[in-house]
């Protein structure tokens, strides 16, 4: 009986090695994935701001403050980083950079980190629900081998670069990654927020 269990375990280890053999982080590709979308968003934002002018930009910010407020930014980022949606949390930066960084960086970072934690909980607790499992099964095909090989390090990479953060956090839960590793890893979103805020603020000052 023990020998059969050892044989089964050995087979599983060998299968895992085979799966991981061709799984490598392509740093050049990751750099491009991370750099190009951010650069395009930054350029488009600056072109729009240049087109509408500083006065109209200020009026738009005033309208936003009066009608929506900071909590709408928090809610948007939280929802985008919780659910698997074709949206980016980075769309808030053209508005956020006009405000105090000591307020906006903690606010956006907290919303994003909480979104990642919620995504992890969704994968962990609701993976068996058909509607949720449909998405996690698709994610496993694309990202599962990377998470199984690199573990929480891949969550950190997704937290820095514009990879599908919510998808990878959901998958981390579905694959039963330890909460004690995943939850602290989501704090990387504070660093990402600070970097993006600085880039967009520098662009805003340029125009």
**Which of 156, 160, 190 minimizes the C-alpha distance to 172?**
156
DSSP labels, 121-159: HHHHHHTTSHHHHHHHHHHIIIIIHHHHHHTHHHHHHHH
pLDDT at 13 over 50: no
Tell me what the pLDDT averaged over the chain comes to. 79
State the pLDDT at residue 14.
Answer: 47
Domain boundaries, the chain: 31-206
* Greatest mean pLDDT range, 7-11, 102-106, 154-158: 102-106
Could you identify the residue written with the tokens 């600070």? 194
pLDDT digits (tens, 9 = 90+) for 147-200: 888 889 989 988 988 778 888 998 899 888 999 999 999 999 999 999 889 888
54-95 pLDDT per residue, tens = 677 677 777 777 788 889 999 999 999 998 777 788 888 888
Q: What pLDDT score does 169 carry? A: 92
Report CA Rg, the chain.
Answer: 20
Model pTM score? 0.78
pLDDT at 78: 95
The rounded percent of the chain whose pLDDT value lies above 70 is 77
CA distance 77 to 105: 12
Residue reference for tokens 């998808």? 167
Tell me what pLDDT residue 117 has. Answer: 96
């Amino acid at each position: 009986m023990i020998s059969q269990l050892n044989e089964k375990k050995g087979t599983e280890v060998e299968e895992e090695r085979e799966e991981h053999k061709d799984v490598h982080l392509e740093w050049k590709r990751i750099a491009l994935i991370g750099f190009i979308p951010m650069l395009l968003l930054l350029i488009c934002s600056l072109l729009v701001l240049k087109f509408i002018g500083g006065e109209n930009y200020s009026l738009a910010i005033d309208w936003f403050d009066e009608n929506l407020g900071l909590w709408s930014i928090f809610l948007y980022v939280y929802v985008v980083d919780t659910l698997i949606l074709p949206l980016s949390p980075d769309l808030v930066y053209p508005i956020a950079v006009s405000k105090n960084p000591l307020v906006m960086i903690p606010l956006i970072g907290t919303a994003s980190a909480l979104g990642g934690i919620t995504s992890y909980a969704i994968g962990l607790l609701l993976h068996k629900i058909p509607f949720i499992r449909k998405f996690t099964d698709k994610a496993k095909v694309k990202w599962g081998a990377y998470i199984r090989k690199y573990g929480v390090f891949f969550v950190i990479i997704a937290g820095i670069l514009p990879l599908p953060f919510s998808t990878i956090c959901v998958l981390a839960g579905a694959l039963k990654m330890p909460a004690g590793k995943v939850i602290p890893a989501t704090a990387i979103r504070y660093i990402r927020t600070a970097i993006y805020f600085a880039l967009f603020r520098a662009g805003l000052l340029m125009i």
